[in-house]
């Protein structure tokens, strides 16, 4: 099941050059499982046709305030009531002003007034317009009223100027829609997630690392953000882009991760260490590249400090969750690690399998809890596994 399955999203498209990007947004929302109904304003229809949006959304496109969906339903009331989310992208300066002023003189502005669903606004306009006192004041007032914004990106605009005003990237808009439509079981909680491998330098060109891609840790961070947490992600060297709408701290070595996680954990309600932190590092890194001809075939290794054990010794009231990547005796190794490190739960998976674990988009895990219970999660996408783990952790340790 995709994140937006079963959700009804009403997309308002207003009159700006960015209206063409509504096609991408409709496709992305539908790919994520949402039903999409489009309201196209009169000025929006000068940039993109109703037929295009109807073809992509698989639903009629609404343009007229006085259209009836059926003989017994008033159009704007039906759309307002069916929406789980009202998204306006692009949102022009004009529509922001109308919403702030309570003006309802067309179908879209009337639906805004009539809906009880959350409203997500993605502005797009000339940089000078976006910076104007009137627009800034309208944005501030709407934020105070509970509207949510996805700020525009910076770049070259259609008018030729460079600055803020471009419609935010489609993935950014869709991710905020996911956040708004996910239950807030972690609302008010501060979460720290460690993810990815570490790299321990041998010399300026060589290092020791492991096969962790960081995907599971990133999924844990993204799921926590969607569930309403204030998330700090501490990530080792991965090829993954920083997740949206959270603080990401990039580190390289186990020592750097220890410092970053330790500092962030001081104010955290929960810490999840999905990172594959190196157990050993070279005793010292050579200042120059080691030449093959002079290498004595020995690298002296010393143990790194165990981050989870360190947190477990001074845990306070925070919840600690670890991960165990095992190749044999999954239960024995995971449970022993949980007890030794004083954890509330540990998520164990068999990394000897090629269809799950390192580098894969899927996982299959067993979650062991400190009270002796366990939870099996069948193979699924890592974001689904992450959501299920958080639900289980919240039920046991972080009740709302």
Distance CA(134)–CA(151), nearest Å, equals: 16
Examine residue 3 and state whether it is found in any structural domain, yes or no. Answer: no
Query: Do the beta carbons of residue 182 and residue 223 sit within 8 Å?
Result: no
- 255 and 201 share one domain: yes
**What global pTM score does this model have?**
0.93
CB under 8 Å to 167, separation ≥6 — which residues?
18, 21, 89, 90, 122, 123, 124, 152, 153
Residue 125, domain member (yes or no):
yes
Please calculate the CA angle 161-166-169 and round it to the nearest 5 degrees: 145
Give kind and range of the element (H or E) at residue 301.
strand 301-303
Do residue 124 and residue 200 come from a single domain? no
DSSP state of 204: T
Query: Are residues 26 and 171 part of one domain?
Result: yes
DSSP letter for 45, please. Answer: G
Domain containing residue 199: 190-397
Backbone angles phi, psi at 336, to 5 degrees: -65, -40
Is-cis flag, bond preceding 151, omega within 30? no
H or E stretch covering 202: strand 200-203
Residue the block writes with tokens 């805004």 = 112
| Domains: count for the chain | 2
Of 117, 151, 180, the one marking the end of a domain is 180
Query: 């999840």: which residue's tokens?
Result: 272
| pLDDT values of the chain reduced to their tens digit, one per residue, 400 residues | 688 999 999 999 999 999 999 999 999 999 999 999 999 999 999 999 999 999 999 999 999 876 655 444 545 578 888 999 999 999 999 999 999 999 999 999 999 999 999 999 999 998 889 999 999 999 999 999 999 999 998 876 666 676 677 999 999 999 999 999 999 999 999 999 999 999 999 999 999 999 999 999 999 999 999 999 999 999 999 999 999 999 999 999 999 999 999 999 999 999 999 999 999 999 999 999 999 988 888 999 999 999 999 999 988 889 999 999 888 998 999 999 999 999 999 999 988 888 887 888 999 999 999 999 999 999 999 999 999 999 999 999 988 6
Closest CA relative to residue 167, chosen from 24, 42, 39 = 24
Could you give the residue numbers annotated as active site?
Answer: 159
The gap from C-alpha 384 to its chain's centroid, in whole angstroms, comes to 13
Q: Is 55 in a helix, a strand, or coil? A: helix
Regarding whether 207 and 169 lie in a shared domain, the answer is: no
Cross-strand bridge partners of residue 235: 195, 250
Distance CA 13, CA 27 (A): 14
Please tell me the distance from the alpha carbon of residue 242 to that of residue 9, in angstroms, as a whole number. 27
Domain boundary among 125, 146, 180: 180
């Amino acid at each position: 099941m995709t994140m937006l399955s079963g959700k009804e999203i009403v997309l308002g498209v207003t009159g700006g050059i960015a209206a063409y990007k509504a096609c991408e947004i409709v496709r992305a929302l539908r790919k994520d499982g949402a039903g999409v109904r489009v309201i196209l304003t009169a000025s929006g229809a000068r940039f993109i046709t109703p037929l295009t949006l109807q073809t992509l959304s698989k639903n009629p496109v609404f343009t007229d305030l006085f259209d009836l969906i059926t003989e017994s339903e008033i159009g704007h009331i039906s759309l307002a009531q069916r929406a789980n989310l009202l998204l306006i992208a692009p949102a022009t300066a004009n529509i922001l002003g109308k919403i702030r002023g309570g003006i309802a003189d067309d179908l879209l502005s009337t639906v805004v007034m009539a809906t009880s669903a959350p409203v997500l606004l993605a502005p797009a306009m000339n940089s000078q317009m976006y910076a104007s006192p009137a627009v800034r004041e309208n944005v501030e007032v709407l934020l105070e009223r509970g509207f949510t914004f996805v700020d525009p990106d910076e770049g070259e605009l259609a008018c030729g100027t460079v600055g803020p005003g471009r419609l935010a990237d489609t993935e950014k808009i869709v991710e905020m829609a996911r956040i708004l439509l996910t239950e807030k079981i972690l609302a008010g909680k501060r979460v720290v997630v460690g993810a990815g491998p570490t790299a321990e330098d041998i010399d300026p060109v060589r290092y020791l690392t492991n096969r962790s891609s960081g995907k599971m840790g990133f999924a844990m961070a993204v799921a926590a953000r969607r569930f309403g947490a204030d998330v700090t992600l501490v990530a080792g060297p991965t090829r993954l882009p920083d997740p949206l709408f959270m603080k990401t701290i990039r580190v390289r070595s186990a020592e750097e991760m220890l410092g970053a996680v330790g500092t962030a954990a001081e104010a955290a309600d929960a810490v999840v260490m999905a990172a594959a932190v190196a157990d050993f590092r070279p005793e010292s890194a050579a200042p120059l590249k080691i030449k093959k001809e002079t290498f004595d075939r020995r690298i002296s290794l010393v143990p790194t400090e165990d981050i989870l054990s360190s947190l477990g010794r001074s845990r306070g009231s925070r919840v600690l969750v670890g991960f165990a990547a095992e190749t044999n005796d999954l239960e024995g190794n995971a449970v022993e690690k949980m007890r030794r490190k004083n954890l509330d739960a540990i998520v164990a998976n068999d990394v000897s399998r090629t269809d799950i674990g390192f580098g894969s988009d899927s996982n299959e895990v067993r979650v062991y809890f400190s009270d002796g219970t366990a939870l099996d999660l069948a193979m699924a996408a890592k974001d689904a596994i992450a959501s299920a783990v958080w639900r289980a952790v919240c039920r046991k340790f972080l009740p709302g």
